[in-house]
Structure 1
Amino acid sequence: MKNKRSMQEPTFLLLTALADQPRHGYALGEEVTAISEGQVRLGAGSLYGTLDRLLSEGLIRIEREETVDGRPRRVFALTEEGAQALRVESERLRTALREADRRLGTNWTPLVGGTA
C-alpha cells in the first residue's frame, strides 16, 4: 500500500472478497454483504466507484471481460500489490483487536453474530 493510512471498510471488504477468487461486480457486492454479515451493503455507485479507484491504484485488475445476456461484465482479480495491502491492513486490525481485548480484560464475553 502506498501510505500508512487505514483502509476504508468497503475497500477492505472488497479486497477480502477477491482474496480467494476473481469475481464480477454483482458477485462482489453479494460477497461483501456476506462477509460483513449483512452490515455493509454497497450500492452500485459505491461499488463501481470503489472498484474503479482500486483499479487505478493497482490493487485489483480486470481478469477478463464477458458478455452475459447481451450485457458486458468485468471480472476482477486481486493483484499482488492488493494482496499485500490486504495483509498489512489485516495485521493492523489484528493489533488493534489484541489491544481492545487487553484493555477489556477478562470481564467481557465476545458477541457472536452481532448479538448479545
Structure 2
Amino acid sequence: MATTRGMSEQAFFILTALVDAPLHGYGIVGEVKTRSSDRLTLRVGTLYGALDRLTGERLVEPDHDEVINGRLRRYYRLTPDGRTALALEAERQAAIARVAHRRLGLGFAGEASS
C-alpha cells in the first residue's frame, strides 16, 4: 500500500490507466500519455519495471494473455488494494494542492472561498 510520502508519478498514472479495464503494455503507455495530458511518456522498459514493482506490491496483477499476430500480449488489471492505494494517493495530492491554493489565495474547485 502507498506510504504517506506518496507514490511515483509513473505508478500513479499506471494505476489510473487501469481503473476502467485491463490493458496490455502498449495500451497502458497510451493511456498514461493521454491521462497525463502528454506530460508523461513511459518507455517500455520503464513500464515493465514499474509493473513488476506494482505486481510485487499487489496493486496490479496479470489478467490474461493474448496472442496477436504471433506476439504475446499480457494484460494487467488493478487489484482492490491498487484501487484503494490510488484513491488514497489522489486524496493526498488533492490535500497538498488545497494547501498551496489557499496559501496563494486561489481557492480550489469544489471548495468555498474563505
TM-score normalised by L of structure 2: 0.89
SS at match of 2:58: coil
Q: Taking structure 1 as reference, are residues 2 and 13 closer, same or farther at Cα in structure 2, changes over 3 Å only?
A: closer
Counterpart position of 2:19:
19
| Residue number in structure 1 paired with 2:68 | 68
Alignment of 1:1-116 (within 5 A): 1=1, 3-106=3-106
Where does residue 110 of structure 2 map in the other structure? none
TM-fit CA distance, 1:93: 0.4
Give the Cα separation in 2 of the matches to 1:39 and 1:2: 23
Structure 2 counterpart SS, 1:76: strand
Deviation at 1:3, TM superposition (A): 3.0
| Unpaired runs of at least 5, structure 2 | 108-114
For 1:19 and 1:2, how far apart are their aligned partners in 2?
A: 17
Map Cα deviations across residues 52-84 of structure 1 (whole Å, 9 max, x no partner).
111111100111011111111101000000000
Where does the alignment leave 5 or more consecutive residues of structure 1 unmatched?
Answer: 109-116
Could you tell me whether the CA contact under 8 Å between 2:65 and 2:75 is conserved in 1?
A: yes
Count residues with an aligned counterpart: 107
- State the shift of 1:5 in Å: 2.5
Amino acid at match of 2:97: L
**What is the alpha-carbon distance in structure 2 between the residues aligned to residue 55 and residue 65 of structure 1?**
16
Structure 1 ranges of 4+ moved more than 2 A: 2-5
TM-score by length of 1: 0.88
